[in-house]
């Protein structure tokens, strides 16, 4: 029995609908999956139904963008969220507005650079409340300004490239506390991509619950290193493909298979968080 706990749909920068994602999960024989769209839980209600129809266990979640005190950007996955939690929904709406405003600013930068990409094209491709750079990249390809999304990131959208615009982010402490108040389990996503291993003990001190040890872009050595680190710091283990559908040509779902026992540990932590939230004590 295996799980994939890092997946995106069209509600953020993935290309699958919830029905397509649930079908793919079933086709790959996954026992459980989590939806972790960037800054939104909108896809979760549909996923509940689509997964139920196909006999796949569903875990509602999302992926928040946070910032360490050093300024490093990192992503925090939330699992087993209460997707009707009022404060969570208000915070997500705030960061969705930040994303929408950032799209306007990135398009304005491109226009200043002599790339006449209309914002309406990006918004039509995105078709969601949490648009991001992959949507701008797809628009640049569709309109013939770049040959591929990779080229769009390399020329314009990567950090410090001419059309890159920084994003307002919550702190790691705020992200973890918000997730816990909404009943969720907080897991640091793809630590090998953020290169701030020296800060992970401090995140554990802030209440981080787990580390995404297994990820499509982690080498075997990375996974081993983060499993040892998780053991040392008392963190739970998670893993997922980070599948964005057809975004990069090849869907990644099924490529990372997390043994189901780890899902049970994460669920136990969720139950502990919920019961301590109700009694008012800290986790």
Q: How far apart are CA 128 and CA 131, in angstroms?
A: 6
The stretch among 5-13, 50-58, 106-114, 225-233 that binds Fe ion (CB under 5 A) is 5-13
Q: How far is the CB of 23 from Fe ion (least distance, A)?
A: 21
Task: Single out the residue of 144, 125, 127, 150 nearest to residue 135, CA to CA.
Answer: 125
> HSE of 218 in the Cβ direction (CA atoms, 13 Å)?
27
Work out the burial of residue 263: count CB atoms within 10 Å of its CB; fewer than 13 is exposed, 13-18 middle, 19 or more buried.
Answer: buried
Site for Fe ion in 151-190 (CB under 5 A): 189
Helix (H, G, I), strand (E, B) or coil at 83: coil
Torsion angle of the four alpha carbons 255, 260, 264, 265, in this order, in degrees rounded to the nearest 10: -60
Q: How far is the CB of 106 from Zn ion (least distance, A)?
A: 19
Provide the token pair at 280: 């008012």
Site for ligand AMP in 217-256 (CB under 6 A): 244
Q: Which of 2, 3, 7, 38 is the binder for ligand AMP (CB under 6 A)? A: 38
Whose Cβ is closer to ligand AMP: residue 133's or residue 257's?
A: 133
> Per rule CB under 5 A, is residue 242 in the interface with Zn ion?
yes
> Per rule CB under 6 A, is residue 133 in the interface with ligand AMP?
yes
The stretch among 144-152, 159-167, 236-244, 269-277 that binds Zn ion (CB under 5 A) is 236-244
- What is the x/- site pattern for ligand AMP, positions 1-30, by CB under 6 A? ------------x-----------------
Which residues share a beta bridge with 259? 2
What 8-state DSSP symbol labels residue 184? P
Provide the token pair at 170: 């919550």
Q: How far apart are CA 191 and CA 74, in angstroms?
A: 8
Place of tokens 């999956």: 33
- What is the x/- site pattern for Fe ion, positions 12-51, by CB under 5 A? -x--------------------------------------
Q: How far apart are CA 16 and CA 5, in angstroms?
A: 16
Q: How far is the CB of 13 from Zn ion (least distance, A)?
A: 8
Whose Cβ is closer to ligand AMP: residue 244's or residue 257's?
A: 244
**How many residues bind to ligand AMP according to rule CB under 6 A?**
11
Whose Cβ is closer to ligand AMP: residue 133's or residue 269's?
A: 133
Q: How far apart are CA 44 and CA 9, in angstroms?
A: 10
Place of tokens 């959208």: 157
Instruction: Name the site residues for ligand AMP (rule: CB under 6 A).
Output: 13, 38, 132-134, 149-150, 153, 158, 167, 244
Instruction: Name the site residues for Zn ion (rule: CB under 5 A).
Output: 63, 242
Instruction: Name the site residues for Fe ion (rule: CB under 5 A).
Output: 13, 75, 189
């Amino acid at each position: 029995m295996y799980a994939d706990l890092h997946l995106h749909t069209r509600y953020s920068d993935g290309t699958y609908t919830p029905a397509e994602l649930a079908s793919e999960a079933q086709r790959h024989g996954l026992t459980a999956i989590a939806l972790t769209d960037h800054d939104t839980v909108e896809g979760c209600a549909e996923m509940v139904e689509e997964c139920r129809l196909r006999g796949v266990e569903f875990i509602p979640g999302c992926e928040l963008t946070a910032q360490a005190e050093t300024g490093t950007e990192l992503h925090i996955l939330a699992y087993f969220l209460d997707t009707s939690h009022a404060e969570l929904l208000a915070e997500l709406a705030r960061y969705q507005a930040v994303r929408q405003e950032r799209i306007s600013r990135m398009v304005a930068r491109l226009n200043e650079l002599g790339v006449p990409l209309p914002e309406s094209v990006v918004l039509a491709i995105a078709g969601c409340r949490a648009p991001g750079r992959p949507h701008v990249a797809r628009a640049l390809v569709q309109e013939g300004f770049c040959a591929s999304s990779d080229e769009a990131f390399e020329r314009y959208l990567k950090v410090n490239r001419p059309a890159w615009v920084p994003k307002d982010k919550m702190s790691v402490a705020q992200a973890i506390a918000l997730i816990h108040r909404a009943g969720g389990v907080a897991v640091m996503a793809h630590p090998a991509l953020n290169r701030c291993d020296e800060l992970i003990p401090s995140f554990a001190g802030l209440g981080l619950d787990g580390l995404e040890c297994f990820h499509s872009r982690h080498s075997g050595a990375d996974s081993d290193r983060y499993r040892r680190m998780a053991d040392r710091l008392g963190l739970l283990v998670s893993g997922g493909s980070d599948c964005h559908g057809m975004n990069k040509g090849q869907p990644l779902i099924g490529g990372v298979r997390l043994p189901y026992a780890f899902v049970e540990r994460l669920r136990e932590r969720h139950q502990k968080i919920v019961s301590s939230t109700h009694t008012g004590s800290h986790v």
